[in-house]
Structure 1
């Protein structure tokens, strides 16, 4: 049998060849998708007689046949463009590899870049970055780390034109967030968003509790610094409420701007996030002042860099910061009445 194995991320850096997702053009992507479709058809036609094996990092060898491959759409609502995925037929809850450029690549390998500027938050622009977004969103969040969400959250594939930023750390994609511009069309609707909306956010398991969620929320607010109101897509998860609580405690000027919204974001579809926290209507209490980016000095933390793109501009998931306390305690009547008065005043000022 022919044995196939991808190059490890460490070896990629040492030899300094291009990562399979670096410098992918639109024509390259067409070729990748066509090759994937042809190879998928070839595998299905062999009916188990394939001599192809994939070597996993733990030494297990997976036979590449009809029981171990999936054909998944790269983009939402575009079924003709699909990626070829390899799974373990004994436990199909994780994707082992992706077929790119006539070769199987491990999922972790596709999250590596050899481009020196891949550091900090960077706008998704190239076809290669679209593939990285797909891997983070659908394969890592949707398969490998899907069990980490208390609500079983899994993201659908993004559209081809989805606005997104990936958080890179020394060439490794560790997190991402997507957002909608004010005036952009809502999904499957003729309505347009009435304010910018942060739609999805995800941090890889090993990079959680290091302030990346707060850093991305801060970047979102800075990207639309001229806007009076900003939205976060409803429903917001308990983990994301923790991130919002910590961010808004340290950034008082943003407390009037952040709203939990349903599309398209009419005033009747908005709820002020800070007010909900004050009223105890979220699973988070107001946290103490903190510097979340320096809580774990034992591990190097990625830095936030704008790369000059801060002027551009379903379900929520976020980093799970369990160092922030949780409480379902309701405030007393006096405090609630005070908060309602503050809310009414702020609404009049914003309107």
Structure 2
């Protein structure tokens, strides 16, 4: 969506904001999307998806974070049209791009889609399943709910190089992050709010080794990383460690909450991209306001930014298709 299309009057924005914060919000339109798109054509759609997520996360609560990331990684490459789910015989698909190798839970998407095809064949798109799964995974982690706009259709193209070039990196500085988000129609507030998703899940040592051992090429550590935290991380991550997992929000990585912002404010964000949020006055101000749960607007803001992100490059109407199976085109 272009910046022009995203511009709306303050009054209209306020009205939209009020109902997007509620999971019982009335339908709205955005490029053909609306809350409750399947109410008549497949009234049990959202319940079916929710059941698939809850059943899976009862057995493995750690699936919540990668399921949330899956939607983010889909939307930033070609838009929210399910291309991250496609598989090619030559392995040149988005799934095999390095940033996506840590994604898990594709079988949950498959299970939800199979149940939907049984209930209402050819109606619910894989891209909408992804959007619903992201919301339900956050709720299962004690996070906020929001009205998910649906009505997307699925793309037919996946390209490993597009994933490499479009996905923000944990090594990015604030200038790069702001530029990449702006290119998708997202502003600085969306950047800092969506970064709050790092309150759940794990990172891995290779993503922070440079911060610990050779930040400027002189065998030093990142001066923007709290020294005690850096020392603790060095005990877990040796320079050649490629496998050890690290909680992005230590002690609270299975719960969706505001504690991520407290960590960032203490210079204990795991990635360079987390630390970068202190390098812009606007993002830093948000971090400092949200670091305590009392009076925090993070939960409300997260739902709004997720809806906004969910509008990136959508296919609606007669564009694209509704895949029968999410891993392949029809």
Q: When the two structures are superposed, what TM-score results if normalisation uses the length of structure 1?
A: 0.27
Whichever of the two has the greater Rg, that structure is: 1
> As a proportion of its length, which structure holds more strand?
1
Of structures 1 and 2, the one scoring higher in RCO (CA 8 A, sep 6+) is 2
> As a proportion of its length, which structure holds more helix?
2
